[in-house]
Amino acid sequence: MSYKKYPVSIPELSGNEKKYLNDALDTNWISSTGKYVDSFENNFSEYLNINHTITVSNGTVALHLALVALGVQKDDEVIVSNHNGVYGPFAIEYVGAKPIFIESKKDTWNIDPSLIEEKITKKTKAIMIVHIYGYACDMKAIMKIAKKHNLKVIEDAAESHGASIDGMKCGTFGDISIFSFYANKIITSGEGGAVVTNDDELALKCRYYKNLCFKINGPRDFQHSDIGYNYRMSNLHAALLCAQLEKIDYYIDKRNDCFNNFKNYFLSSDLDNFFSFPKPEIDSFNVAWVNVIKLENTNININDLRFELSKVGIDSRNLFYPSHKQLFLKNGSPNESFSISEDLYLKGMYVPSGSNLEKKDILYISKTIEKTFSELKANNDKNS
């Protein structure tokens, strides 16, 4: 029997992508200057309601650049969400600082602000939060703590394009924020990223360091006073992003509709107490970057469920691995207990997601998960 294959993500390029890309090619503007870079930076700033967007080559370097611009350096400490991809912790290590991990809230899966203050020391320079899976963090509480302790805030909004709290977009609360435009993101250029900020000086530093520390307004004399990076985005990538940004509301609506159908399927099922989903923060508007689901009240192994799904063509991924256990950490804390992030990793997954999934596709995926789970559960119950 052959099955339709459902990869975890397929980008949707259904607008002016080809037109703008061909224009960039036809006019020979293929490098990091050009009208699409300028347009995207202006239009994204306008979309977010922020002063500066600085395009870069991906979200990981955007995090590094943000830390460099803030002057975070060796032996500083940066408070960071423990339920996180490797990107933020890597960037903190790039500058020689130490990541100090904070557990998530059980219901929202996002960083728990009530646990931050006890981890602040004289070495703490910044708080780096992640709006995980498109769900906005409790930014009011986080900004209050940062202000009290005079700390900088970096928002990792890689997964949360368009999410907001009280109408203010994620990425505009902190001192400096980042976005990723990787192929699975809500708007994409295949690879790409941006740093955004309201601070003129931080923006200038980002422009300086991302362009190998060439003098911003000085002569091109090949004399460099600082060590810089080539983190530039090309006009070709920006051409794709200009087209994507024109349709961002459509992409968000489609993803949110899809996730609502997915979630409601399980919440109205007889098995509803075996599944859970992240709870939104008060006054937040969230964007369903991926269709996430977590098992509850069962010892069924999420990887057994994922394996069975893969056999019928449904791709999936585990949720993020708890950061404090990552082996690359020089000063990790593998013995510290982070039971919520560990549970998210052991019981959570995301399944095929994206604006091009139709209602019938998500219904098929939901039904298959429910059926496969029931079979594994029956088998488990029989053997226990």
SS3 at position 250:
helix
CA distance 205 to 151: 19
Q: CB of 65 within 8 A of CB of 209?
A: yes
Q: Which lies closer to ligand PLP via its Cβ, residue 110 or residue 368?
A: 110
Q: Which lies closer to ligand PLP via its Cβ, residue 160 or residue 372?
A: 160
Closest CA to 198 of 247, 140, 138, 155: 155
Applying the rule CB under 6 A, the residues between 172 and 201 that interact with ligand PLP are: 180, 182, 193
CB of 246 to ligand PLP, least distance (A): 21
Q: Which lies closer to ligand PLP via its Cβ, residue 21 or residue 130?
A: 130
User: Which amino acid is residue 142, in one-letter code?
Assistant: I
Residue 57 corresponds to which tokens in the numbers above?
Answer: 């080559």
Q: Is 33 exposed, middle or buried (0-12, 13-18, 19+ CB in 10 A)?
A: exposed
Pairing of strands 284-285, 317-318: unpaired
* 44 binds ligand PLP per the rule CB under 6 A: no
Site mask for ligand PLP (CB under 6 A), range 52-71, x = bound: ------xxx-----------
**Residue nearest ligand PLP, Cβ-based:** 59
193 Cβ contact partners less than 8 Å away, ≥ 6 residues apart: 55, 56, 57, 58, 59, 60, 61, 62, 158, 178, 179, 180, 181, 233
* 171 binds ligand PLP per the rule CB under 6 A: no
CB of 88 to ligand PLP, least distance (A): 6
Q: Which lies closer to ligand PLP via its Cβ, residue 110 or residue 366?
A: 110
Q: How many chain residues touch ligand PLP (CB under 6 A)?
A: 12
Sole binder of ligand PLP in the list 92, 158, 236, 362 (CB under 6 A) = 158
Q: CB of 141 within 8 A of CB of 115?
A: no
Q: Examine the residue annotation and report whether 185 is marked as an active-site residue of this protein.
A: yes
CB of 188 to ligand PLP, least distance (A): 9
Q: CB of 69 within 8 A of CB of 95?
A: no
* 130 binds ligand PLP per the rule CB under 6 A: yes
Sole binder of ligand PLP in the list 6, 40, 87, 265 (CB under 6 A) = 87
* 85 binds ligand PLP per the rule CB under 6 A: yes
Q: Which residues bind ligand PLP (CB under 6 A)?
A: 58-60, 85, 87, 130, 156, 158-159, 180, 182, 193
